[in-house]
């Protein structure tokens, strides 16, 4: 499953071999809430999960989403919280790590900035708490290797809430251009 992230979760017949001897799993939610992955992992001997979730999993449920952004966030919340619940239902140890928007998301703009000199975003007025991947990874590694985080849920955020189209494109624009000689 490691060679092609996400693809192994589409092939449940590979799970038993991949999970043989695996006691702890860092679960990125490619395996959906109804996939049965968590249950199969426990059957194979997994005793702890660290779920790489999302900040949206902690958003309150309720109301009917009225905008595209609200629908997106409701879908994201439902998916990630569903994965968390599927792990909790197994009865083994778990930790949920819910990062905000990971900083590498901005790398997706690099080609657009290089070629067009602009950024198009689906929700330009939205704001996010950008998190460096290393911060979320530090918690996940500790949760996998120590007993200090069993049963805990961590919402990992950056220092400020940032609208995506404020300063990030300027940084990327400078990074995408050749350095002056």
Chain mean position to CA 171: 24
- Residue 64 is assigned to a structural domain of this protein: yes
Highest mean pLDDT among 31-40, 45-54, 120-129, 156-165: 45-54
- Kind of pairing, strands 48-52 and 24-27? parallel
Most trustworthy range by pLDDT among 58-62, 140-144, 165-169:
140-144
pTM of the model as a whole = 0.80
How many domains would you assign to the chain?
A: 1
CATH at 91: 3.40.50.720
Residues 6+ apart with CB under 8 A from 77: 54, 56, 57, 58, 59, 61
Read off the pLDDT of residues 84-118 as tens digits, 9 standing for 90 and up. 999 999 999 999 999 988 878 777 777 877 787 77
The Cα 166–Cα 132 span in angstroms is: 18
pLDDT score at 108: 77
Q: What range defines the domain where residue 97 resides?
A: 7-102+131-159
Model pLDDT, residue 161: 75
Residue 178 domain-assigned (yes or no): no
Residue 94 lies in a domain: yes
With left for phi above 0 and alpha for psi between -120 and 50, is residue 151 left, alpha or beta? left
Residue 176 lies in a domain: no
11-22 burial, b at 16+ Cβ within 10 Å, e below that, comes to eeeebeeebeee
Q: Is residue 114 part of a domain?
A: no
Residue 13 resides in a domain: yes
The most distant pair of C-alpha atoms in the chain lies apart, rounded to whole Å, by 60
Residue 97 in domain: yes
Residue 153, in any domain of the structure:
yes
């Amino acid at each position: 499953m490691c060679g092609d992230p996400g693809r192994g979760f589409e092939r449940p017949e590979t799970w038993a071999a991949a999970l043989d001897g695996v006691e702890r799993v860092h679960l990125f939610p490619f395996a959906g809430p109804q996939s049965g992955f968590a249950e199969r992992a426990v059957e194979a001997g997994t005793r702890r999960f660290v779920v790489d979730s999302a900040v949206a999993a902690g958003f309150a449920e309720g109301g009917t989403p009225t905008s595209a952004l609200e629908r997106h966030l409701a879908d994201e919340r439902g998916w990630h919280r569903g994965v968390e619940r599927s792990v909790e239902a197994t009865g083994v140890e778990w930790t949920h790590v819910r990062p905000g928007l990971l900083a590498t998301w901005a790398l997706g703009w690099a080609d657009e900035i290089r070629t067009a000199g602009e950024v198009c975003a689906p929700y330009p007025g939205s704001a996010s708490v950008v998190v460096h991947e290393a911060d979320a990874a530090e918690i996940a590694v500790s949760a996998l290797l120590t007993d200090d985080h069993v049963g805990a849920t961590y919402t990992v955020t950056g220092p400020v809430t940032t609208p995506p189209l404020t300063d990030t494109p300027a940084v990327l624009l400078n990074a995408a251009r050749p350095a002056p000689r």
